[in-house]
């Protein structure tokens, strides 16, 4: 294992300290329990958005704290859910009285811990559970689909509504709507190493890829031989389209997300290849996002997320945002 680290025990803390110092105009990092808030207090009457999850997916979620998006993020240990004490401390700090909306990716650890926090919390709160990953076939499995990169889209759009005075119920409803209108699927070329583990999470051959991979490198649909970028992109989009069923001329957001170890050069190449296919199908790409937003440590790979956009979603996507990882309109 080669990593920039001094000790596995201090890995997260040092990274959080660096994040807080580098973006002190936007965020405040709090420790023991660990949570990240905006540098400025929540506006009176504004619904507070809190997300969180295991670390190792940066910039999600700490990099999405700031004006127009999250009010707080709770980072767990690497690839391990945060805990109720973090969520409760964050809620106490950012709840202005208008209530708290938890945005949770559908992973059992995250779900259980946010559920316990919601049970222990005194004030009004709601949760949005994202489950955009189409890789896991729908079945009787109650754990259901995984929540992955579309969580970024949910946080942007609901963040805008909350900023513009949306109520707790309205924010929850919009979050559910964005999630329902989104589909994602990823592919990995290499594994990733949790610092405390010191060795790769899974083995993968030089000529292989994990098709439908999860954001911790957990297996997806199948192990395939490497293919051309256009073929991989087509297969990802076919899987998403089959689930999301965008109509001809429907407007969509095309989000190409890097998993940490794939250069932007390749992400833009995927964008081009995805555009080729969507153009042929007369699906209108009206907004785009390309970059590393929902990562899996140093994993080589990428995911594609499509979100169907209506007027309401477009408006909130375009509105101003100022976070460490996303900034426009300000």
Partner 1 sequence: MSVNFLIHRAKEIQAVIDANASEIEKLDQEIGDGDHIFNVQRGIKLVIELEAVIKDLPISKALNQIAMKVLSGIGGSSGALFGTLFMTMAKGKDIDNGVDYKKAIEIFADGVEAVKQRGKADVGEKTMMDVLIPVSNCLKKGVEDNKDVKEILQEAIEVAEKGMFSTKDLLATKGRASFLGERAKGHIDPGARSSQLMIKTVCESVLNS
Nearer Cβ to partner 1 (73/174): 73
Any residues with CB less than 8 A from the CB of 208 and at least 6 apart, and which?
223, 224, 225, 226
In the residue annotation, 316 being an active-site residue is answered as no
Nearer Cβ to partner 1 (70/89): 89
**Which one of 42-50, 103-111, 159-167, 260-268 is the stretch in contact with partner 1 (CB under 8 A)?**
103-111
Asked whether position 143 contacts partner 1 by CB under 8 A, the answer is: yes
Give the integer Cα–Cα distance in Å for 33 and 76: 10
**Nearest distance from C-beta of residue 11 to partner 1, angstroms:** 12
Asked whether position 86 contacts partner 1 by CB under 8 A, the answer is: yes
Nearer Cβ to partner 1 (297/321): 297
**Nearest distance from C-beta of residue 127 to partner 1, angstroms:** 15
Nearer Cβ to partner 1 (10/137): 137
Give the integer Cα–Cα distance in Å for 152 and 178: 10
Give the integer Cα–Cα distance in Å for 210 and 133: 14
Asked whether position 1 contacts partner 1 by CB under 8 A, the answer is: no
How far is the CA of 327 from the CAs of 72, 254, 291, 311, in angstroms?
17, 18, 13, 21
Asked whether position 249 contacts partner 1 by CB under 8 A, the answer is: no
Looking at 23, 57, 61, 316, which residue is catalytic? 57
Asked whether position 107 contacts partner 1 by CB under 8 A, the answer is: yes
Asked whether position 217 contacts partner 1 by CB under 8 A, the answer is: yes
**Nearest distance from C-beta of residue 65 to partner 1, angstroms:** 20
In the residue annotation, 57 being an active-site residue is answered as yes
Of 194, 240, 313, 325, the one binding partner 1 by CB under 8 A: 194
Asked whether position 140 contacts partner 1 by CB under 8 A, the answer is: yes
Of 62, 63, 76, 260, the one binding partner 1 by CB under 8 A: 76
3-state secondary structure labels for all residues of the chain: CCCCCCCHHHHHHHHHHHHHHHCCCCEEEECCCCEEEECCCCCCCCCEEEEEEEECCCCCCHHHEEECCECEEEEEEECCCCCHHHHHHHHHHHCCCCCEEEEEECCHHHHHHHHHHHHHCCCCEEEEEECCECCCCCCCCCCCCCCCCHHHHHHHHHHHHHHCCCCHHHHHHHHHHHHHCEEEEEEECCCCECCCCCCECCCCCCCEEEECCCCCCCCCCEEEECCCHHHHHHHHHHHHHHHHCCCCCCEEEEEEEECCCCCHHHHHHHHHHHHHHHHHCCCEEEEEEEECCCCCCCCCEEEEEEEECCHHHHHHHHCCEEECCCEECC
Looking at 23, 30, 61, 216, which residue is catalytic? 216
Asked whether position 5 contacts partner 1 by CB under 8 A, the answer is: no
**Which one of 96-104, 133-141, 243-251, 262-270 is the stretch in contact with partner 1 (CB under 8 A)?**
133-141
Nearer Cβ to partner 1 (56/166): 56
**Which one of 41-49, 168-176, 193-201, 278-286 is the stretch in contact with partner 1 (CB under 8 A)?**
193-201
Nearer Cβ to partner 1 (61/308): 61
Asked whether position 138 contacts partner 1 by CB under 8 A, the answer is: no
| Residues contributing to the site for partner 1 (CB under 8 A) | 33, 54, 76-86, 107-109, 112-113, 115-116, 136-137, 140-143, 146, 194, 196-197, 201-202, 214, 216-220
| Active site residues per annotation | 57, 216
């Amino acid at each position: 294992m080669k990593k920039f680290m001094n000790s596995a025990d201090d890995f997260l803390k040092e990274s959080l300290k660096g994040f807080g110092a580098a973006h002190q105009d936007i965020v405040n990092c709090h420790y023991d329990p660990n949570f990240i808030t905006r540098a400025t207090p929540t506006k009176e009457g504004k619904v507070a958005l809190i997300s969180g999850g295991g670390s190792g997916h940066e910039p999600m979620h700490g990099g999405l704290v700031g004006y127009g998006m999250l009010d707080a993020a709770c980072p767990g240990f690497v690839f391990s859910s945060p805990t109720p004490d973090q969520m409760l401390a964050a809620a106490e700090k950012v709840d202005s009285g208008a209530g708290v909306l938890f945005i949770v990716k559908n992973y059992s650890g995250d779900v259980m811990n946010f559920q316990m926090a919601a049970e222990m919390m005194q004030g009004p709160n709601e949760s949005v559970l994202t489950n955009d990953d189409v890789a896991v076939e729908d079945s009787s499995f109650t754990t259901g689909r995984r929540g992955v990169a579309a969580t970024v889209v949910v946080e942007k759009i609901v963040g805008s509504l909350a900023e513009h005075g949306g109520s707790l119920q309205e924010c929850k409803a919009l979050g559910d709507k964005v999630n329902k209108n989104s589909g994602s699927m990823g592919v990995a070329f290499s594994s990733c190493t949790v610092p405390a583990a010191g060795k790769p999470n899974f083995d993968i051959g030089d000529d292989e890829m994990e098709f439908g991979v999860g954001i911790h490198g957990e297996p997806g649909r199948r192990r395939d031989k490497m293919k051309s970028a256009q073929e991989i992109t087509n297969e990802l989009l076919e899987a998403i389209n089959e689930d999301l069923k965008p109509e001809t001329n429907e407007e969509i957001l095309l989000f190409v997300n890097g998993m940490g170890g794939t250069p932007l050069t390749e992400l833009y190449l995927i964008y081009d290849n995805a555009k080729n296919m969507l153009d042929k199908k007369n699906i209108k790409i009206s907004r785009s996002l390309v970059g590393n937003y929902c990562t899996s440590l140093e994993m080589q790979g990428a995911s594609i997320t499509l979100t169907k956009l209506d007027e309401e979603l477009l408006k909130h996507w375009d509105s101003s945002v100022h976070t460490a990882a996303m900034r426009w309109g300000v």
